Amino acid sequence: MSENTSKIAFVTGGARGIGARCAKDLKGQGYQVVIGDINADQIRNFQEETGIPGVVIDVASYDSVQAAQQLLIEKYGDVDILVNNAGITRDGFMHKMDPVSQWQTVIDVNLGGVFNTSRVFAPAMREKGFGRIINISSMNGQRGQFGQSNYAAAKAGILGFTRSIAQELAGKGVTANAVCPGFVETEMTQAMPAEILQQEQAKIPVGRLGLPEDISNAVVFLASTASGFVNGATLSVNGGQYMAA
């Protein structure tokens, strides 16, 4: 029996896209997986498709995260592996960006959500002496992106947050790392104009867009005991499109 069967993995934004792939692949490695998503219908459909249960959660709300934690404890136990994948976009030029519906909303979900879940789930990991926090950032958080000052700021903030908590938690057996996807074939990128995607693909040295499994492969490694000496790292999974120093 795999040692992973005793570990519970919680994937936010897990009903579709990269999060869904991570949830499926973690289950394939023997983990007991639960997803969190704001959309109850998508959770239900995902569970029917995969057998992976889920809880409704609004990561931007600390109270909602606490409520989800209590439900998880009652049904499954304490979370061992936290994959912070939930995120949104509200693109626009900075000089036209609405301070609330575009700027603050993206910051609250994409960055505030990572704080909320980490703050709620990390104490139990510390008590057990084991935990993995894996934060999904973005290539655009490393390099910036035209029309995405809100998204890039939030995703860059995740990197600083990850490095900080990696130092705070490591002494208790809990590691924190970030994964920075490049352009990946998901519902989010499919909504982009085809010519933009073609332009971006032309910039990728490996000659293709990423696939959700490219990201989940990194997440599965960082969730494993084999990654125990990897801490505070930023793992770029972008086909070489952006190579950070």
Q: What is the pLDDT of residues 85-100, one digit of tens each?
A: 999 999 999 999 999 9
Q: Determine how many CB atoms are found less than 10 A away from the CB of residue 134.
A: 26
d(CA 236, CA 245): 11
Overall average pLDDT of the 174-184 stretch: 97
Q: Determine how many CB atoms are found less than 10 A away from the CB of residue 187.
A: 8
Overall average pLDDT of the 45-71 stretch: 98
What confidence category does residue 243 fall into, taking pLDDT thresholds of 50, 70 and 90? Answer: very high
55 belongs to a structural domain: yes
121 belongs to a structural domain: yes
Q: Position 96: which residue type?
A: K
pLDDT over 70 at 155, yes or no: yes
pLDDT at 240: 97
pLDDT over 90 at 5, yes or no: no
What confidence category does residue 232 fall into, taking pLDDT thresholds of 50, 70 and 90? Answer: very high
pLDDT over 80 at 17, yes or no: yes
Q: Which residue has the tokens 């490049």?
A: 182
d(CA 61, CA 245): 35
Using DSSP, state whether 51 is helix, strand or coil. coil
DSSP for residue 133: E
d(CA 171, CA 104): 34
77 belongs to a structural domain: yes
d(CA 188, CA 178): 20
**β strands within the chain, DSSP E:** 8-12, 32-37, 54-56, 81-84, 131-136, 174-181, 234-237
pLDDT at 38: 98
Q: Report residue 66 as tokens.
A: 């606490």
pTM score: 0.96
d(CA 163, CA 141): 14
pLDDT at 209: 93
What confidence category does residue 168 fall into, taking pLDDT thresholds of 50, 70 and 90? Answer: very high
Phi/psi for 55 (5° steps) reads -130, 145
pLDDT at 191: 76
d(CA 199, CA 196): 5
190 belongs to a structural domain: yes
User: At 95, which CATH number?
Assistant: 3.40.50.720
Q: Position 110: which residue type?
A: N
pLDDT at 55: 98
> pLDDT per residue over 111-146, tens digit each?
999 999 999 999 999 999 999 999 999 999 999 999
Domains contained in the chain, number:
1
pLDDT at 136: 98
pLDDT over 70 at 224, yes or no: yes
What confidence category does residue 190 fall into, taking pLDDT thresholds of 50, 70 and 90? Answer: confident
DSSP for residue 92: B
The domain containing residue 89 runs over which residues? Answer: 3-236
Active site amino acids: 151
244 belongs to a structural domain: no
pLDDT at 41: 98
Q: Which residue has the tokens 């903030």?
A: 157
- What is the C-alpha radius of gyration for the chain, rounded to an integer number of angstroms? 17
Residue 78 contacts residue 128 (beta carbons within 8 Å): yes
What confidence category does residue 195 fall into, taking pLDDT thresholds of 50, 70 and 90? Answer: confident
